[in-house]
Structure 1
Amino acid sequence: MKVNTQAVNFNADQKLLDFIQKRMNKLEMYYDKVIQSEVYLKVENRSNKLNKIFEAKINVPGDSLIVKKQCKSFEEGVDTAVASLRRQLEKRKQKLK
């Protein structure tokens, strides 16, 4: 799956980008008709520890699935967002059957 990753207001290192690619590729096991995905990484300037925002948009035929998670680290955000997207893709697959 092609994953377009954009980091807003900072430069993401290659390890983080590889981690995101690896996790997003696992979604193809649950629904193989994923066209592409876009990922946005944002850091908000707040004193709160939950200042990292992970937003993912997945394009499937006829629809788009969007998930936005705010966490302490991007890795945690990726894991929770991928779990949420997995559930959405499984529901979509069940509806089509």
Structure 2
Amino acid sequence: MNIQIQTVHFDADNKLLSHVNKRIEKLKTFHDHILGVEVYLKLDNVVHQIKDKVAEIKVIIPRHTFFVKHESKVFEESFDCAFDALVNQIKKRKEKALA
């Protein structure tokens, strides 16, 4: 499984990167054939004082790609909400494939 984490408009600290990596490793329990994972962590509305933290996750499996995006005021919260939505997508896809 190829994992890429990219940050846009900021430099992520080790605590955030380790949180993301730890959660991404859990994806293996939901699907056996994950080819790649791309995580984008972005600061939105950089011009204004209010900076929204956006997390985008893209998971590539054979013949399908999952994509989720979530934003909040904290990167960990954005990533966790996006990750949970992604897990739900993967579970639904797997149930359809088995049915």
Q: Which runs of 5+ in 1 are unaligned?
A: none
* CA deviation map 1:40-91 (0-9, x unaligned): 1110223446x10001110011111010101111100111111101100101
Secondary structure of 1:28's aligned partner:
helix
Secondary structure of 2:12's aligned partner:
coil
Query: Does 2:36 align with 1:36?
Result: yes
Query: Does 2:87 align with 1:90?
Result: no
TM-score w.r.t. the length of structure 2 is 0.89
Identity %: 40
Q: Which residue of 2 aligns with 1:13?
A: 13
Q: Which residue of 2 aligns with 1:69?
A: 70
Q: Distance in 2 between matches of 1:41 and 1:13?
A: 12
Secondary structure of 1:54's aligned partner:
strand
Q: Distance in 2 between matches of 1:48 and 1:69?
A: 16
Q: Which runs of 5+ in 2 are unaligned?
A: none
Q: CA RMSD in A?
A: 1.3
Query: Does 2:77 align with 1:79?
Result: no
* CA deviation map 1:4-28 (0-9, x unaligned): 0000111111111111011111121
TM-score w.r.t. the length of structure 1 is 0.91
How many aligned positions are there?
Answer: 96
Structure 1 residue runs of 4+, over 4 Å off? none
Q: Distance in 1 between matches of 2:34 and 2:60?
A: 6
